Amino acid sequence: MLFDGAVKAGAISSSAPDAKGLEIRGKIENVMIKMGKKAQEHQFGELGTGTERLNKIMAEASKCIKCYGCIENCPICYCVECSTKKPHLVRPGIIPPDFMFQMIRFAHIADSCINCGQCSELCPMDIPNSLYMHSQQVELEKMFGHKPGYDMTMPVLSYAEEMDERERLHATGSDMIYDNVFKE
Ligand code: SF4
Ligand code: SF4
């Protein structure tokens, strides 16, 4: 590893962390986690549930100009042939795109979204894509126990969606988000 190499080369040195510093850091982290959970509850609460939530997402999605920013910048998207570009699934040349455009993203990665925020941050229409995806991920994690970013096993949607693309990832190892992402 880079760090071990730098220590070995004498470029840097390391020592045990200061106990008091660790304690303070632990307290700060706890406060931040509590604040994050509170903000999450508030944001999910505003989304509503069931049909109400779906209607809100569809209304926001109707602003989409199909720039592909959310897809191209998502670290989880894995298909070489993006299904959102297949004319039998999403009609070409229509803005806003059919809601199927968003549904394809949900169906492929709702269980593996790491909530990095890129799809919201980079959306020119300010659609809170990451909130929508993350709200689904939280529910799927409760159902299936897959923890994105921690769990190196395949998420449940990988057994139902884009089998060919997943098999390609396994066969080639390229872009393998679950096996390679943390490798050197
Ligand atoms: S928040 Fe989730 S869906 Fe959005 S870019 Fe990050 S990993 Fe992809
Ligand atoms: S980044 Fe926003 S506008 Fe662009 S395709 Fe995604 S949702 Fe649509």
| Residue 81 within a domain | yes
Please tell me the total number of residues recorded for the chain in this structure: 184
Is the confidence at residue 103, as pLDDT, over 80? yes
| Residue 74 within a domain | yes
Instruction: Note the pLDDT of residue 172.
Output: 67
More confident of the two residues 4 and 115: 115
Longest dimension (CA), the chain: 61
| Residue 8 within a domain | no
- Pocket around ligand 2 at a 6 A CB cut-off: 64-70, 123-125, 127, 129
pLDDT classification of 86: cutoffs 50, 70, 90:
very high
What domain range includes position 166? 64-184
76 closest CA partner among 110, 128, 113: 113
| Residue 15 within a domain | no
CA of 109 to the centre of ligand 1 (A): 8
Domains: count for the chain: 1
